[in-house]
Amino acid sequence: MRITRYYCPTERKTFSLLPDCLASRLSGDLAAVEGELAEAEKCTSVEAAANAVRTDDITLPSAVRWLRRRLLPVRMALMALVTMMPELFAGCAPTVTAMRLVLGTGSALVELREVGAAHLGALPPPLGFGPRRKGGWRRWGDRQHDMGPDPPS
């Protein structure tokens, strides 16, 4: 599905109107992402989950990377919602299965977007529309210590 982007000349930014069913910054809709993650939560490891979810002809490392790109942001968004709304999610684990039980619905991510509508600007993608991570990827040089002799002890 193509999403139309509009340009605001005053703010010099583009924006779009994302339908409730689509995941922000991930391909596919929230129901498909939720189904993949619910299947992954049943498995014992990320590798087993990647084998179960991605049945097309890709290698296991590629499937693991694809699944982790979906798992981590959704877990962060669920943790943020559990933390922001303790009156609604008291004692709830930040998993898709637990959210389905609390909300009593089969499509928890779509429902959570409606429940957390006031916090969409702060929630991380794919549920919310929070800002992208600043700083980008760390380069190898960032982890290196300075060259030269060791300082005196």
Evaluate if residue 132 carries a pLDDT over 70: no
Band the pLDDT of 136: cuts 50, 70, 90.
low
> What does the pLDDT average to over 113-139?
76
Q: What is the CA 103 to chain-centroid distance, rounded?
A: 19
Residues in Cβ contact with 113 at an 8 Å cutoff, skipping those fewer than 6 apart: 20, 30, 120, 127, 128
What local confidence, expressed as pLDDT, does residue 64 receive? 92
Mutual angle of helices 108-115 and 96-103, in 10-degree steps: 70
Burial of 116-131, coded b for 16+ CB within 10 Å and e otherwise, reads beeeeeebbbbbbbbe
Residues 46-99 have pLDDT tens digits of 999 999 998 888 999 999 999 998 888 899 999 999 999 999 998 899 999 999
pTM above 0.85, yes or no: no
Evaluate if residue 134 carries a pLDDT over 80: no
Report the percent of the chain where pLDDT is more than 70: 85
